[in-house]
Amino acid sequence: MSLSPDEKEMLAGNQGLDKKRAMELLVKYTEALGARKLVNTNNVTVILGAIPDVGIIRKIVPTLDVDEIASKFFLDSDDRVVVSRVKAFTTTNAYFYDQRYPDLQRGGKEATELSKQIADYCARIGIVHLSTCTPYQSGNIPTKGEHCAWTESSAIAYCNAILGARTNIEGVQSSFASAITGKTPLWGMHLDENRYGKVSVKIELSMDNIQDWYLMGYYVGMHVGLDIPVYVNSKRTPNLNMLMALCAAGISSGSIVMFHIVGVTPEAPTFEIATGNRKLVKSLNFGERERRVAYEKLNHASRGDVDIVMLGCPHYSLERLSSVSELLKGKRIHPNVALYITTCRTNKYVADGLGFTETITKAGGILFEDSCGTLFDVDRSKVLATDSAKLVHYVPGMTGLKNIWFGPTEQCIEAAITGKWRGELT
C-alpha cells in the first residue's frame, strides 16, 4: 500500500490512539481488497445503534461501557479506545430504536436504553444522528463524483446511481474507521472503470406506480447478481419514491449497488456513455410476464387474515406519509391488526406539524422514527402485509416471520382496516 503523510501520521499514533486503531483496521481492509491506496472522504454513514441481544454484548463488555463497546465491536480493537472526534462528516443509519416504544422492538427496554447510550456517544464524538436509511431525505446529499463511505444497502444504490456520488457497501467497522480517519479504500465503485453498465434492461411497461418499480428492481436483481444494469426505453422520469423502490428492491434480490437509467441518471445521458461502449454480458426485458414472476416471488403468505401491516422500508417520504394520511382519514384500523409505519426523524417532525401523525394515530397506527421494520418484535406465526419488496426479502431471515403479502400501499391500508388481504396484481 501507498500511504500519504497524513495517513502515516495516523498509523504511527501521532494523532491519537483512535486514529491509529482506525488506520490499522483500514490498512488491513484495503490490503484484503487488493487495493493500493486510500482516498479522502468527508461523507460517511455509520450503522451502530441496534443491538437486540444485549446479553451477547454483556458477555464481552460486562459493564456495557459504551467506549469499550465501540472499541471492541465497531473498531475491532482489544484496547479501550476513546474516540476524540470523527474527521469526516458522518451521519447515522436507521438501525436505532424509537425510544417511545421499547416493548415493540426486539430486545425491549434494555436494548432501547443501550441504543440511546450509543446515540449519545455518536453525538459526543461529532456524528450527526439522523438515524435513517435514507440520509438523502434528511440533508446528507453528496454531489456527483464525491467519495463517500456509506452503509445501508438501498442508500448505497441511491448514492451511486441517482446522485452520481461514489461508495462501496461498507459495514460497521469499515464505516466507523472511515468516519474517524476521513479515509476509505480506493476500489470498486470509487473507480470509473467499475461503474459502467453490463446488462441492458428494456422496459416494456409504462411504470406509472411505485409497485412496478419495486417489481422491476426485484426481477432484475434476481438475474444480474453483481453486474450493473442499464435501463432503457423508460417512458417516464421516475420520482423520488419510484427511485427509492428500485434501489431497495434491486439490492435485496441481487447486489445492485449501481445502475443507470438512460436519459435520467447522471452517468447515463446516452446508452453508449452508460456502458462505456463495452460489450454487454446479457440483455433482459421487463414486461408483463417478468412483472408477474416478481410479484409471485414476493407473495408467499398462506392465510388471508392479516395481523401486521408494515410500511416505510426504506423510510417513508413526506409524499407517502401524506398519501397514507389521506387513506386513513375517518377510518379505523381493525382491532386485530397492528399498523407500523417508519420514517426518518426529520420527516416525522414535519409530519407532526402537518397533522399526518395525528391522523395515523387516531386511526390506530403508529408512526415510528429512527427505527427499522426488521427491529420490531413480531410473532413469527403472524401474517404480515407490506408495500416494500425489501421488507419481504429481509423479514423472514431476521425475525422468522414467513407469511407475507406484498402489494401497493392502498391494498395494505385496506388490509389494515379490514383485517383481510384481498390484494392482487393489477
Q: What is the DSSP letter of 74?
A: I
Q: Which residue has the cell 426486539?
A: 106
Please report the pLDDT score of residue 57 as a whole number. Answer: 94
Looking at the predicted structure, is the pLDDT value of residue 95 above 90? no
Average pLDDT score, the chain: 97
Looking at the predicted structure, is the pLDDT value of residue 49 above 90? no
Looking at the predicted structure, is the pLDDT value of residue 65 above 80? yes
Percent of the chain with pLDDT over 90: 97
Position 96 confidence tier, pLDDT thresholds 50, 70, 90: confident
Of 16, 143, 157, 13, the closest CA to residue 89 belongs to 143
Domains 5-188 and 299-418 share a fold: yes
User: For 231-270, what is each residue's pLDDT tens digit?
Assistant: 999 999 999 999 999 999 999 999 999 999 999 999 999 9
Please report the pLDDT score of residue 88 as a whole number. Answer: 99
CA atoms of 402 and 11, how far apart (whole Å)? 47
Task: Check if the beta carbon of residue 45 is closer than 8 Å to that of residue 155.
Answer: yes
Please report the pLDDT score of residue 85 as a whole number. Answer: 98
User: For 16-32, what is each residue's pLDDT tens digit?
Assistant: 999 999 999 999 999 99
Looking at the predicted structure, is the pLDDT value of residue 50 above 90? no
Once rounded to an integer, what is the mean pLDDT over residues 360-386? 97
Position 8 confidence tier, pLDDT thresholds 50, 70, 90: very high
Please report the pLDDT score of residue 294 as a whole number. Answer: 99
Q: Which residue has the cell 482506525?
A: 22
Once rounded to an integer, what is the mean pLDDT over residues 111-137? 96
- Report the Cα–Cα distance between both ends of the chain, in Å, rounded: 55
Kindly indicate whether the domain formed by 299-418 is annotated with CATH number 3.30.499.10: yes
| 3.30.43, 1.10.150, 3.30.499, 1.10.4030: CATH of 5-188 | 3.30.499
Helix axes 389-399, 288-298, angle to 10 degrees: 30
Please report the pLDDT score of residue 426 as a whole number. Answer: 87
Once rounded to an integer, what is the mean pLDDT over residues 412-422? 99
Identify the weakest region by mean pLDDT among 42-51, 58-67, 268-277. Answer: 42-51
User: For 182-195, what is each residue's pLDDT tens digit?
Assistant: 999 999 999 999 99
Position 276 confidence tier, pLDDT thresholds 50, 70, 90: very high
Question: How many Å separate Cα 222 from the centre of its chain?
Answer: 18
Position 329 confidence tier, pLDDT thresholds 50, 70, 90: very high
Position 172 confidence tier, pLDDT thresholds 50, 70, 90: very high
Once rounded to an integer, what is the mean pLDDT over residues 261-285? 98
Looking at the predicted structure, is the pLDDT value of residue 223 above 90? yes
Please report the pLDDT score of residue 327 as a whole number. Answer: 99
Once rounded to an integer, what is the mean pLDDT over residues 100-109? 95
**Annotated domain spans of the chain:** 5-188, 196-297, 299-418
